[in-house]
Amino acid sequence: MQGNSEAKSLNEMVVGLAGNPNSGKTSMFNNLTGARHQVGNWPGVTVEKKEGRHVRDGQVIRVVDLPGTYSLGAFSEDEAVARNYILSGEPDLVVNIVDASNLERNLYLTTQLLEMGANLVIALNMFDEAEKKQIKIDLEAMAGILAVPVVPTVAVRNKGTSELVTAAVGAAGKGPGRTFRIDYGREAEPGIARLEKALAAVQTVKHLPARWVAVKLLEGDENIYGRVMQSLKAGDIVKLRDEVAAHIESMTGLDPESLFADRRYGFISGLIKETVTRKSTTEDRLSISDRIDRVVTNRFLGMPIFFLSMFAVFQFTFALGDPLIGYVEEFFEWLGEGAGALFTNELIASLVADGIIGGVGAVLVFIPPIFLIFFAISLLEDSGYMARAAYIMDRFMHRLGLHGKSFIPLIVGFGCNVPAIMACRTLENRRDRMITILITPLMSCAARLPIYVLFVGAFFTAFQGLIISSLYFLGIALAIMMGILFKRFLFKGEVSPFVMELPPYRVPTLKGVLIHMWERGWAFIKRAGTIIFSVVIVIWVFASLPAGVEFASRESYLGAIGGFLAPVFTPLGFGTWEAAAALIFGLLAKEVVVGMFGVVYGIGEDRLTSAIQTLWTPLSAYAFMVMSLIYIPCVAAIATIKRETNSWRWTGFAMAYSLVLGWIMAFLVYQGGRLLGLG
Amino acid sequence: MLNAVLPLGFLTPGRDAVVRDVVGGKELRQRLCEMGFARGSLVRIVQSQPCGPLIISLGDGRIVLGRGVAQKIMVEEVDN
């Protein structure tokens, strides 16, 4: 293959996957690359970059998943990333995943890719659904008009993948075919041509397709505008641009941007007329999806169904997770005893058995429920229900001055706050983004689950589902309250527009859900393996020093720090040095709280639970759980907040408000409970 | 058969209409455009919550629009 960047090896071919959200791009990526992905970030931004490999007859194909976008403007970071990557010349080929059952909108992105001069192969995905809707597509005619290969696929059933690869390898060898152009009409074309000619001499955009640059400049694309402004001839170009734009506006009554959009859709509807036949002209008015929506998004039934499904998610997580926790626990106990016996040096034996295996084990025990909750969230996402939840919750979210879309990061927050805070990027408006980022840490993430499970296991076995749900709902209620306060006092202004696609319901594939679950769960394990591992060693060192003290006793440094801060927590019912120390270390990662108790009370489920049963009361345990839920997010979340808000001030604010709020809530729970005679 | 042009939010649910214009800021217009709200496209309100968002049928897809956004899309009812 003719590689054009030094970074790739001689025989490697690079393919970028582009497509709308919900076009089945992820399924296709999984088909091509199997389950092994490399996940990283695009340079300079926090947009996730996924890569994988596909090997066919000794040909290595590096597949790069581009962010799912509806177009390639420059408004969102996702779009800019996809666009810059395609323009960089690194990919030999772009595979455009197109939802064949929703052609008009999907082809809008296709026209943009073609205008950029990308070497393209089109995968007409969900071809079966199009057939079911009696949409007949003339593939040859479409390939002829667009001058690119068109391959029918059904990604969720892994159909057409091999044919797609064949087409891709063929097309990559040939390079882009004839230049694609949309006729923008006689009012615009002469102006575009003039601008194109003038741009040929501009260094900063010389390497880009000239016609595309001219069109983008007329559309007022900020990125391209900025690049042109850096050149010496900026003044002349801008003058010419304004002149052409004014001409177009006076002739058509439309600004260039609207005219071009009309023309693109005009081209698309022409293309569809030429290549698509619909058997029944009267659309099946009530598709299955609409019929389900009649119930699920119903004005009265929507909310109850939503709460029921959330409750089901938690029940599923615990009913299935509990027995599994037992097995993992037994494994770590066995491992700890075995490893401890291996070392004759008492100190090292203690480090390995009490410190590393005890501490890390105490956290890893919670892998089953964490994987299960990610499984459930992936199921909700892949089935299409998550978008309905956003719709149902919109009215509710409106009161916080947010809209339903903010609800999706909040739900992801139940898995882990870090991806949730990153998911806030999909919110276009800064104010929405800031409020959502600030309240997301109140969503009880999977890492806080171990804390609840520990205390619930000690005191509330009979009502575990109820008690744990109550904490989740408390987090939600506080998020609402804080959202309202933030809106009133910190971020005044109007609610931003709410536009969201509602994908049709689909039966999720097990493979897709499992891969989704695995990616998120594995990220958690990696964190447990790195941050928690080091934290556990730090805790062990603090617990073992000064030399000669009994491990994790009141006399150790750990005990001293905890003892110093304990009085702060006395009104909350847990003014012990163990609890104070656990909360401090919990900042590093909330699940460390459990690892910490594992260290100070001794390893092993039985000992830990019985220690808690003797040293705590149900009320103080609940107050502690409330504190753990609310107080300062973990370091990973703090770092993400800093990165996403790009402000230390707001990061500091997020930490401070949550600490104060946590203290107040735990105080209210404990003192209120005592007044009611529960203590 | 000249029908009045009205904001999408005021369209009778279930009635077909054609998009005539999208008003509002550049960013919103571009977003709606890339989601498929082009002049001439066929729309219908599938479901609406009182004072809440609407589910719109657009081409072969379904799109949720907030009330405010729906007021910025001008449509013309078609006789069906």
Rounded mean pLDDT of A115-135? 91
Q: Which residues of B touch A390 (CB under 8 A)?
A: 64
Q: Minimum mean pLDDT among A138-152, A299-313, A540-554, A648-662: which range?
A: A540-554
The CATH number, out of the four listed (1.20.1560.10, 3.20.20.220, 3.40.50.300, 3.30.70.1250), of the domain defined by the range A12-174:
3.40.50.300
- Inter-chain CB proximity A105 and B55 less than 8 Å: no
| Nearest beta carbon to residue B52 from set A73, A75, A395 | A395
| Nearest beta carbon to residue B49 from set A104, A108, A299 | A299
User: Burial code of B17-32, b = ≥16 C-beta within 10 A, e = fewer?
Assistant: bebeebeeeeebbbbb
CATH topology of domain A189-277: Helix Hairpins (1.10.287)
Please give the helix or strand (H or E) that residue B58 lies within, else none: strand B54-58
pLDDT at A6: 40
- Examine the pLDDT at A5 and tell me if it is beyond 60: no
Q: Which of residues 5-64 of B touch A (CB under 8 A)?
A: 24, 26-36, 38-41, 46-47, 49-53, 55, 58-64
Q: Residue A454 CB: number of other CB atoms within 10 A?
A: 23
Q: Which residue has the higher pLDDT, A450 or A551?
A: A450
- Examine the pLDDT at B40 and tell me if it is beyond 60: yes
Q: Which residue has the higher pLDDT, A136 or A599?
A: A136
Structure token digits, residue A494: 């109007």
Beta bridge partners of B74: B7, B21
CA neighbor of B32 nearest in space, from A453, A39, A630, A105: A105
Q: Residue A195 CB: number of other CB atoms within 10 A?
A: 22
**pLDDT interval class at A528 (50, 70, 90):** low
For A646, the 3-state DSSP assignment is: coil
| Nearest beta carbon to residue A499 from set B31, B41, B60 | B31
- Inter-chain CB proximity A391 and B64 less than 8 Å: yes
- Examine the pLDDT at A541 and tell me if it is beyond 50: yes
CA distance A351 to A245: 72
**pLDDT interval class at A212 (50, 70, 90):** very high
- Examine the pLDDT at A413 and tell me if it is beyond 90: no
- Examine the pLDDT at A138 and tell me if it is beyond 70: yes
Q: Phi/psi at A52 (nearest 5 deg)? A: -155, 180
β-strands A120-125, A93-99 pairing: parallel
Query: Would you say A349 and A340 are in contact if contact means Cβ atoms under 8 Å apart?
Result: yes
Q: Residue A462 CB: number of other CB atoms within 10 A?
A: 9
Q: Minimum mean pLDDT among A68-77, A102-111, A270-279: which range?
A: A68-77
- Inter-chain CB proximity B60 and A391 less than 8 Å: no
CATH of domain B5-77: 2.30.30.90
CA distance A593 to B4: 64
pLDDT at B37: 92
**pLDDT interval class at A518 (50, 70, 90):** confident
CA distance A266 to A251: 18
Query: Would you say A426 and A354 are in contact if contact means Cβ atoms under 8 Å apart?
Result: no
Structure token digits, residue A275: 């290549």
> Cα Rg for chain B, rounded, in angstroms?
11
Q: Minimum mean pLDDT among A94-98, A128-132, A142-146, A444-448: which range?
A: A444-448
Query: Starting at the edge strand that comes first in sequence, how are the strands of the sheet with A12-19 ordered?
Result: A38-41, A48-56, A59-65, A12-19, A93-99, A120-125, A150-152
Please report, as a single letter, which amino acid is at residue A77.
E
pLDDT at A166: 94
Average pLDDT score, chain B: 88
For B12, the 3-state DSSP assignment is: coil
Residue written as tokens 């659309």?
A283
Distance (Å) from the alpha carbon of B66 to chain A's nearest alpha carbon: 5
Q: What percent of chain A has pLDDT over 70?
A: 91
Rounded mean pLDDT of A400-420? 78
> What are the sequence ranges of the domains in chain A?
12-174, 189-277, 304-492+515-675
Q: Which residue has the higher pLDDT, A97 or A575?
A: A97
Chain A residue whose CA is closest to B31:
A499
Select the residue from A499, A500, A501, A502 to test the B interface by mutation, using most B Cβ atoms within 10 A: A499
Write the pLDDT tens digit of every residue in A259-283. Answer: 999 999 999 999 999 999 987 644 5
pLDDT at A550: 72
- Examine the pLDDT at A149 and tell me if it is beyond 70: yes
- Inter-chain CB proximity B62 and A290 less than 8 Å: yes
Burial class of residue A207 in the structure, from the number of CB atoms within 10 Å of its CB (0-12 exposed, 13-18 middle, 19+ buried)? exposed
Q: Which residue has the higher pLDDT, A305 or A539?
A: A305
Average pLDDT score, chain A: 84
Beta bridge partners of A52: A63
- Examine the pLDDT at A150 and tell me if it is beyond 50: yes
Write the pLDDT tens digit of every residue in B5-36. Answer: 999 999 999 899 999 999 888 888 888 998 99
Distance (Å) from the alpha carbon of B76 to chain A's nearest alpha carbon: 17
- Examine the pLDDT at A189 and tell me if it is beyond 90: yes
- Inter-chain CB proximity A495 and B68 less than 8 Å: yes
Write the pLDDT tens digit of every residue in A55-70. Answer: 988 889 999 999 889 9
**pLDDT interval class at A563 (50, 70, 90):** confident
CA distance A622 to A619: 5
- A163 close to B (CB below 8 A): no
Residue written as tokens 């409020």?
A435
Burial class of residue A484 in the structure, from the number of CB atoms within 10 Å of its CB (0-12 exposed, 13-18 middle, 19+ buried)? middle
Q: Phi/psi at A276 (nearest 5 deg)? A: -120, 135
H-helix segments, A60-205: 77-87, 103-115, 127-132, 139-146, 161-174, 189-199
Torsion over CA of A655, A661, A667 and A672, rounded to 10 degrees? -160
Q: Residue A556 CB: number of other CB atoms within 10 A?
A: 22
- Examine the pLDDT at A606 and tell me if it is beyond 80: no
- Examine the pLDDT at A284 and tell me if it is beyond 60: no
Q: Which residues of B touch A133 (CB under 8 A)?
A: 60
Chain B residue whose CA is closest to A296:
B47
pLDDT at B20: 92
ipTM over 0.90: yes
Structure token digits, residue A143: 């390939």
CA distance A594 to A454: 7
Q: At what angle do helices A618-630 and A464-489 cross, to 10 degrees?
A: 40
- Residue B41 sits at the vertex; the CA angle it makes with B40 and B45, to the nearest 5 degrees, is 130
Q: Which residue has the higher pLDDT, A509 or A493?
A: A509
For A18, the 3-state DSSP assignment is: strand
pLDDT at A1: 38
- B70 close to A (CB below 8 A): no
Distance (Å) from the alpha carbon of B6 to chain A's nearest alpha carbon: 19
Q: Which residue has the higher pLDDT, A151 or A206?
A: A151
- Inter-chain CB proximity A390 and B64 less than 8 Å: yes
pLDDT at A280: 61
